[in-house]
Structure 1
Amino acid sequence: MRKVKSSTTSWVITGLGTVVTGIGKMLGGKIGAAIAGFGLAHVVLGMLDRIRPTVRQRS
């Protein structure tokens, strides 16, 4: 199994959150606002993951 770098994962989560936020904004209404909020939460979590310190393992 190939291991994905944490920075790549953070960018993917942030990008997907941006897409979901855009979809929520296009839908509008209460459902659209809920979907946009879900996407914004992922954007925030992805950015927080980027500034989190990494744990190094000894081999």
Structure 2
Amino acid sequence: MREGLIPTVLGTVVSASGAAFLGSKYKLAATGVLGFGLAHIVLGAIDLIEHR
């Protein structure tokens, strides 16, 4: 399995769940979860590009 694939997939799932909760009354928490998910996507993509 390629290095960086797991954080990228995990970040996608976390970002999707954070985006789903943006319309609820917990908007601040959903924004934080979305940010953590996007950070995982970026760091995983860097690993995927770096370790070709």
Q: Find runs of 4+ consecutive structure 1 residues off by over 3 angstroms.
A: none
TM-score by length of structure 1 reads 0.72
Matched residue pairs, number? 48
Higher relative contact order (CA 8 A, sep 6+): 2
CA shift, 1:52, in A, is: 1.4
| Alignment pair present for 1:21 and 2:15 | yes
- Where do 5+ consecutive residues of structure 2 fail to align? none
CA shift, 1:53, in A, is: 4.4
Structure exhibiting the larger radius of gyration computed from Cα positions: 1
- Where do 5+ consecutive residues of structure 1 fail to align? 55-59
Identity, % of aligned pairs? Answer: 38
Deviations, residues 9-46 of structure 1 (Å, cap 9, x unaligned): 41111000000001101111111011000000000000
Query: What is the RMSD of the two structures over their aligned residues, measured on CA atoms?
Result: 1.5
